[in-house]
Every structure is written in C-alpha cells, then in structure tokens.
Structure 1
Amino acid sequence: MPKPFKIPRSVLVVIHTPALEVLLINRADAPGFWQSVTGSQDREDEPLEQTAIREVREETGIAADAGVLRDWGLENVYEIYPRWRHRYAEGVTHNTEHVFGLLVPAGTEVRIDPREHTAFRWLPWREAADACFSPSNAEAILLLPEFAA
C-alpha cells in the first residue's frame, strides 16, 4: 500500500528553557539542516495542538506535559522545497505552518529518532535563529522573548 500524501498543514514547535535556550535537531535526510520540531497533521481533523504534542514526542522523546505548551497564534505560509514536494499530492506547492512554543525545564532529556534526526543541541535563542535553515523557523525563534515573557 502506498504511503499517503502529507497534509500541507503543519506545526512548528520552538522548544525552549526559561533561560531562552532553544532545542535544535539536525535532519537525517538533509545533513546540516538544523530546525525546531516540525510535522504535518496526520489527518485533516487532527487538532493542531495534538499535532504539536505528537510531533514533539516522536522527534525528541519529550512529553509536552513535562512543560508548558503555548499556541503563539501565528501561521506561516511557505513554498515547499522542491526536494520534498513528492511527499505531497500533485499540484501542492505551499504549506501552512502553525507556531507553538514549549517551555521545558533546563536539563530536559532529549531522545531523537535516528531515522529522522542525527543530532540535537541547545543554543541561546539568537544563535539558534542563526543556525536554522528555514527562514520561518528563524523568525519564530527571534520572537521567543516576546512570547516567553
């Protein structure tokens, strides 16, 4: 059975500590592409908060209830990189990304899935923004002090 197409509606979750250190993970399918947790809805009616909770657990091993998940009320619409368009239905070129923040205690354990990510690191928020390959991810991290206050 062929894998179903991805839904072009996703979440971006900026995981951070009270000191505004941000967790970045390195994509296994694109070495050097550092990012926050991202992921598409599994089904059209999946609430975005549930998508965020699921993706955080799948990609980092962190249970969202170990911290404070906050909907930032921001959405980014961006063009899907050509290298990943085959994952979407024919003709789909853009994705809508909803932004969340997840405040976790310093020292929170991270367990990445090596099939999805090869490494992780905690960086001060400005350095994390500079390290992101995705402009929308970098922009979200630069808003962190406003949303963490």
Structure 2
Amino acid sequence: MANEVFKTPVSVLALIHTPALEVLLIERALHRGFWQSVTGSLEADESPRETAAREVAEETGIVIAASNLHDWHLSNRFEIFQQWRHRYAPGVTHNVEHVFSLELPAPCEVHLAPREHVDAAWLPWREAAARCFSWSNRDAILMLPSRVNSPMSSPPRPK
C-alpha cells in the first residue's frame, strides 16, 4: 500500500452562523444522525484557514475568501473515531482540529456534497450544540455567543 494516500491528522472545524446565532449543521451521508458543522483535513501545503475556506465551499457551496473566516486561535486534540481511522496512516489515533467561524447575514440555501452530507439545518445555537455528535463541535457552538460578542471578534460590526 505504498501509494495509498492517508488523511493528515490535522483538521478544521468551521462554524457557520448568523448574527442571531442560528448555526448551520449538516448531516453525514454515511453516518445518518451524525450532525456537524463543516469539517475537513488539511491537504498539501494548505494553512488551516485555507482548508476551512475550501471545506466551506466543498461542503455547502458557500464560496468565501479565507480572510472572511474568524480564526479562534483554538485547537482541540481528540481521538479519531474508530470508524474513520482507516483513512489515516497506521498507528495514527489522534487529530488536532483548528476552530474557525463564518458569520453570514442570514440563513441561506446550501448545496451539499451528496457523497458527504444528506441534509442541512439552520438551528438556534443551543439546539445546534445539542444535536452535534462531536464534543469539540458542541463545545465550540456553546462558546459562540462569547466569541461573537468579544473584542477579539473580527471584523468589527458597523453601529
């Protein structure tokens, strides 16, 4: 299996939300009932921010400049679920995930990658957090109100 390409155990989590804290969740195609925000592994020489912008476009059809993403400067290390370990090199058991967010003015229609996701929902932030199967995704959504209203949020909102 010398030519097999394995996923890099470094990924992104991109929360897409509105100013009213409605959060976009998408349901995994191969694991029905697994709802999540946009996620994905780094490819080639991408930065985490570039990966987040690419994954947002691939998974939702929302095309943005990487500079539109808010980097939370937060990363989570977690054990890779057993059902996904075959995608990684032998012996790789943990992943480091970098968290970003994207604020849109209102919920919008999304165009899912059918091999990856089968449904999408815009939910109030608490409901979205409760629906997530991933603890890191849930925790990030629960932090969203303080992140959006913190002085570190960017870009500043007009008054």
Assess same fold via TM > 0.5: yes
How do 1:116-135 residues align onto structure 2 when only pairs under 5 Å count? 116-135=116-135
Aligned partner of 1:97 in structure 2 is 97
Paired position in structure 2 for 1:75: 75
1:57 aligns with 2:64: no
| Residues 49 and 66 in structure 2, CA contact (< 8 A), matched pair in contact too | no
> Runs in 1 of length 4+ with deviation above 3 angstroms?
65-68
Q: How does 1:1-149 map to 2 (within 5 A)?
A: 3-43=4-44, 45-65=45-65, 68-149=68-149
Q: Is residue 66–residue 104 contact of structure 1 (8 Å, CA) maintained in 2?
A: no
- Bigger Cα Rg: 2
Deviation at 1:66, TM superposition (A): 10
Structure 1 gaps of 5+ residues are none
Q: Which residue identity lines up with residue 81 of structure 2 in the other structure? A: Y
Q: Which residue of structure 1 lines up, in the alignment, with residue 154 of structure 2?
A: none
Q: TM-score, normalised by structure 1?
A: 0.95
RMSD of equivalent CA atoms: 1.7
- What are the ranges of 5 or more consecutive residues in structure 2 without an aligned counterpart? 150-159
CA positional deviation for 1:3: 4.8
| Alpha-carbon distance in structure 1 between the residues aligned to 2:90 and 2:10 | 15
CA contact (8 A) 1:67 1:104 kept: no
Give aligned pairs, total: 148
